[in-house]
C-alpha cells in the first residue's frame, strides 16, 4: 500500500524555518496503531492524516499524532493543513472547516497576490480552561533552572489550554529562557501523577508590549523541543487576557530560535459576552516536499 504525503513549514514565511509538518493522504482504512507508527517514522512534532469528513459542515477530517500519542487538537497541524489542502484541491474560498476530536476548527486563509494560499488563522475549538497550580520548584527542575528563574509575579506555574492542557510558566528573562533544558525525569515526577497530564511545558518571557518569546518541551510525548506550538500559545494568550481583564488581547510570540527554527505566531484572544475566552492563532505556511510512503 502506498500513501501520498506532503511536508511544509508552519508559522514562517521562510523554507526550513518554523515548525515542519507532514500531511499524509489516503490512510482512511488504517488502524490507529499504523497511524502512530507512521508518525514515529516521520519523527516530527506532529504528523496529520487527512481523511474524509464525518460530520457537517467539515470539509475534511484530521487525525493528529506526535511521535508518542494522538492529540485531539493542535495548532500548527491545523494552520498547515488548511493552507496545504486549499492548495492541493484548488479551493477558491477563504474558509475551510477542519473536523477533529476536539471539535470543528474554522480556518481563514490568506492568499498571495497570485491567489495561492500562503497563511491561515484558526480558532481553537474550545474556550480557555485554567487548571491546577503547579509547584514552582518542581517546574524549575523540569527546565533545569534555578527556582529564582521561575517568576510568579504575573501568574504561578499552572495548567491551561484551549482544547489540550499545557503547563505554562513565566521565566525571568530571555537569558534564562535560552538556558532552559528539559529534564525528562523531573517531568515524569511532576506531571506523571496528574489526572490529566499536560502535553508539555511552555516557558515564556516578555519582550515588550504585546510580544513574548517562548519555548515548549514535551519529551514525555516524543518531542524534546517544539519549534512552534499553536496549542500551547493559544493557552498562553487566553491566560494573559484572563489575567489582564478587558475584552481582547493581541499577542505576537517568537519561538524556535534556540533550535534553529525561528517561528512567529500571531494570536488574538477575546472575551465573549458569557465570559468565556476564545483564542485564534495564525501564521505563514511554506510547502517543502512531497512523496510516497510504502506500508
Catalytic residue set: 46
Across 141-163, b (16+ Cβ under 10 Å) vs e yields bbbebeeebbbeeebbbbbbbbb
- Tell which residue, 262, 281, 259, 260, has the closest CA to residue 270: 281
Question: Within 10 A of 111 (CB to CB), how many other CB atoms are there?
Answer: 14
Q: How far apart are CA 135 and CA 157, in angstroms?
A: 7
Q: How far apart are CA 211 and CA 199, in angstroms?
A: 23
> 144 vs 177, 178, 257, 259, CA distance in Å?
11, 11, 19, 17
Q: Position of cell 497530564?
A: 197
> 55 vs 48, 59, 86, 103, 123, CA distance in Å?
18, 9, 19, 10, 18
Give every CB contact of residue 132 below 8 A, 6+ residues apart in sequence: 158, 159, 194
Q: How far apart are CA 25 and CA 2, in angstroms?
A: 10
Looking only at Cα atoms, what is the longest distance across the chain? 55
CA dihedral 141→143→149→153, nearest 10 degrees, is -90
**Stretch (H or E) spanning 75:** helix 75-89
Q: At what angle do helices 75-89 and 230-244 cross, to 10 degrees?
A: 120
Amino acid at each position: 500500500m502506498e500513501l501520498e504525503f506532503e511536508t511544509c513549514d508552519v508559522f514562517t514565511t521562510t523554507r526550513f524555518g518554523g515548525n515542519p509538518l507532514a500531511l499524509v493522504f489516503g490512510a482512511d482504512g488504517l488502524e490507529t496503531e499504523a497511524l502512530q507508527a507512521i508518525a514515529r517514522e516521520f519523527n516530527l512534532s506532529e504528523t496529520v492524516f487527512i481523511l474524509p469528513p464525518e460530520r457537517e459542515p467539515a470539509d475534511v477530517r484530521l487525525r493528529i499524532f506526535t511521535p508518542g500519542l494522538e492529540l485531539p487538537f493542535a495548532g500548527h497541524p491545523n494552520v498547515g493543513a488548511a493552507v496545504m489542502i486549499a492548495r492541493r484541491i484548488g479551493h477558491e474560498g477563504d474558509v475551510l472547516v477542519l473536523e477533529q476530536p476536539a471539535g470543528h476548527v474554522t480556518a481563514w486563509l490568506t492568499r498571495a497576490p497570485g491567489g495561492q494560499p500562503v497563511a491561515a488563522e484558526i480558532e481553537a475549538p474550545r474556550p480557555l480552561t485554567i487548571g491546577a497550580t503547579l509547584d514552582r520548584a518542581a517546574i524549575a527542575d523540569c527546565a533545569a533552572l534555578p527556582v529564582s528563574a521561575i517568576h510568579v509575579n504575573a501568574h504561578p506555574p499552572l495548567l491551561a489550554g484551549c482544547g489540550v492542557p499545557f503547563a505554562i510558566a513565566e521565566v525571568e528573562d530571555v537569558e534564562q529562557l535560552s538556558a532552559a533544558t528539559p529534564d525528562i525525569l523531573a517531568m515524569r515526577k511532576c506531571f506523571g501523577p496528574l489526572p490529566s497530564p499536560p502535553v508539555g511545558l511552555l516557558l515564556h518571557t516578555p519582550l515588550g508590549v504585546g510580544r513574548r518569546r517562548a519555548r515548549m518541551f514535551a519529551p514525555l510525548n516524543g518531542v524534546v523541543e517544539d519549534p512552534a506550538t499553536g496549542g500551547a500559545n493559544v493557552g498562553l494568550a487566553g491566560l494573559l487576557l484572563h489575567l489582564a481583564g478587558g475584552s481582547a488581547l493581541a499577542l505576537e510570540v517568537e519561538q524556535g530560535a534556540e533550535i534553529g527554527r525561528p517561528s512567529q505566531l500571531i494570536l488574538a484572544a477575546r472575551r465573549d459576552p458569557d465570559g468565556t475566552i476564545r483564542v485564534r492563532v495564525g501564521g505563514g505556511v511554506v510547502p517543502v516536499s512531497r512523496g510516497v510512503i510504502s506500508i
